[in-house]
Structure 1
Amino acid sequence: MPETLSIAALTAGSWRTMTFAPFRDGIEMCTIAEGSPQVALLRYEPGAAAPRHRHSGMETVLVLDGSQSDENGHYPTGSLVLNPEGSVHTVRSDEGCVVLIQWTKPVEFLEGD
């Protein structure tokens, strides 16, 4: 990972050269920054889903490629999604996607762990 990472570079596709590792079934993660906040890229295979989970802090998601959905809506490329502390949802991507995600605190998975 480069020392400086810009949103412009990510939206232009620099994420394609980054190293991803398995995270959950059908989802890979590239950790950008650990700690608080944690920043990562998540790459969903078509049809992949993250199980129902609760946010113990703010989560910010920028959809870089493809789209993802949850109980609150459908988010195509370019969408910025803010999930507040205490929110609960299940995320899925029918077509596959790559998102830049930031958690201020770890999430609590409620099912499928």
Structure 2
Amino acid sequence: MADSVVLKDLINGGWKDLPFEPFKPGIEVHFLLRGEPEIAILKYAPGASAPLHLHQAAESILMLEGSQSDARGTYVAGDFVINMEGSQHCVSSPEGCVVLLQWAKPVKFLA
């Protein structure tokens, strides 16, 4: 196992050459760290969404490209969002987006 993982210039597309794999319908993933916590880059196709889900632990999101919306607002590149344990929301990305995501426990899908 490596001592560290270094990704340069993520906010300016440093993620574009990473290999992605299917994750959820319309969403691809590149895992940077598996286990607890998990850290990944998610790539949403235009129109992709995540149904209503419950955060079983805090989750942090750094928007790298595009936009993503939930009931609280729309987030764009450079925005940082923390979804607290116990919070619930649906996520949509009409234009598509790329996010850096960290979570300690998987979400529980409610829909």
The interval holding the TM-score normalised by the smaller chain is over 0.9
| Cα contact 2:11–2:77 (8 A) shared by 1 | no
Question: What corresponds to 1:34 in structure 2?
Answer: 34
| Residue in structure 2 matched with residue 56 of structure 1 by the alignment | 56
Per-residue deviation, 1:9: 2.1
Q: Residue in 2 aligned with 1:76? A: 76
CA distance in 1, matches of 2:32, 2:40: 5
Please say if residues 61 and 80 of structure 2, whose CA atoms lie closer than 8 Å, have aligned partners that are also in contact: yes
Q: Give aligned-pair identity as a percent.
A: 49
Alignment-mate amino acid for residue 41 of structure 1: I
**How many angstroms apart in 1 are the aligned matches of 2:5 and 2:34?**
15
Report 1:1-113 matches (<5 A).
3-6=4-7, 9-111=9-111
How far apart are residue 105 of structure 1 and its match? 1.1
Question: How many Å separate the matches in 1 of 2:94 and 2:29?
Answer: 18
TM-score by length of 1: 0.91
Q: Secondary structure at the match of 1:90?
A: strand
User: SS of the counterpart of 2:53?
Assistant: strand
Give the TM-score normalised by the residue count of structure 2. Answer: 0.93
Consecutive unaligned residues in structure 2, runs of 5 or more: none
Alpha-carbon shift at residue 13 of structure 1 (Å): 1.2
- Greater helix content: 1
Aligned equivalents of 2:63, 2:6: Cα separation in 1? 16
